[in-house]
Amino acid sequence: MSAQRTEITPELDDYINEHFSAEDEFLAGLKRQGLMLKIPDIQITADQARFLQFLLISIGAKRVLEIGTLGGYSAIAMARALPEDGKVITLESNNLHYSYALEKVDEAGLSHKIELFHGFAIDYLNSYNSNELLDLVFMDADKSNLIKYTEICTPLLRKGGIIAVDNAFALGNLTVENPEFDETHKHRIKDVYAVREFNMWIKNNPNYFTSLLTIGDGLLLAVKL
């Protein structure tokens, strides 16, 4: 055994997906049908979903906030790991994504556990006035607001609560000196810089203890001290 990281070969990936995945027929169908409606294939991976479920169960989570619903893949996976009186509040600004997710949450029989908000995350957060603290915040939307979202969410999160941030590897570009994207994806360059800045900001934030998980496109975890 060496101290080197094991490469995830396609065979290992298949093994993980076969045995340690949160994806069932319903979630696979959600992805497939979403693609036909031109909803992008950018949800978390099946093993990330399983890991988020694991986290929620470990910390006894009841109240989760998600920024970035897309078609509801991650929200549905997380809601399934909560007790019957648990809740995922999920925020989505895109009309098509929002209405598709609404339909899928209903179809999944999870309308009582998942509350969808249609609009910009910042507007929801600025008007949040519940006195129930959050157990976990999953950030998976616009990268340039990660610091702002964390600042707003910190007082809303219980001690021992977790902030989980997807795409901590910046679509694989975290350490690429001059990241390049084609014309249609050029806007992603600023996301790369935003992710780099956020990772260092949260790592140096005395309110949190952090860890970077090499799963999917990188999952940054920060527990509130």
Which residues make up the interface to ligand SAH (CB under 6 A)? 42-44, 68, 70, 73-74, 91-94, 97, 120-121, 140-142
- Order of strands, sheet of 63-67, starting from the edge strand that comes earlier in the sequence: 114-118, 87-92, 63-67, 134-139, 157-166, 219-224, 208-213
Residue type, 118: H
Q: Which is nearer to ligand SAH, 92 or 135 (CB)?
A: 92
Q: How many CA atoms lie within 13 A of 36 on its CB side?
A: 5
Closest-CB residue for ligand SAH? Answer: 68
Q: How far is the CB of 131 from Mg ion (least distance, A)?
A: 30
Q: Which is nearer to Mg ion, 40 or 83 (CB)?
A: 40
Residues in contact with Mg ion, counted by CB under 5 A, come to a total of: 3
Closest-CB residue for Mg ion? Answer: 166
167 makes contact, choosing from ligand SAH, Mg ion, none, with CB < 5 to 8 Å by partner type, with Mg ion
Phi-psi label, residue 60: left if phi above 0, alpha if psi -120 to 50, beta otherwise: left
Q: How far is the CB of 1 from Mg ion (least distance, A)?
A: 32
Q: How far is the CB of 140 from Mg ion (least distance, A)?
A: 4
- Residues 115-134 within binding reach of Mg ion (CB under 5 A): none
Q: How far is the CB of 140 from ligand SAH (least distance, A)?
A: 4
Q: Which is nearer to Mg ion, 135 or 166 (CB)?
A: 166
User: What is the distance of C-alpha 208 from the center of its chain?
Assistant: 18
Q: How far is the CB of 4 from ligand SAH (least distance, A)?
A: 30
Q: Do residues 166 and 44 make contact, with C-beta atoms less than 8 angstroms apart? A: yes
Q: Which is nearer to ligand SAH, 177 or 213 (CB)?
A: 213
The verdict on 191 binding Mg ion (CB under 5 A) reads no
> Which alpha helices (DSSP H) does the chain contain, by range?
10-19, 25-36, 46-58, 73-80, 95-107, 121-126, 146-153, 188-203
Angstrom CA distances, 211 to 142, 183, 215, stand at 21, 34, 12
The verdict on 140 binding Mg ion (CB under 5 A) reads yes
- Residues 147-186 within binding reach of Mg ion (CB under 5 A): 166-167
One-letter-per-residue 3-state SS of 145-179: HHHHHHHHHHHHEEEEEEEEEECCCCCCCCCCCCC
For Mg ion, the binding residues (CB under 5 A) are 140, 166-167
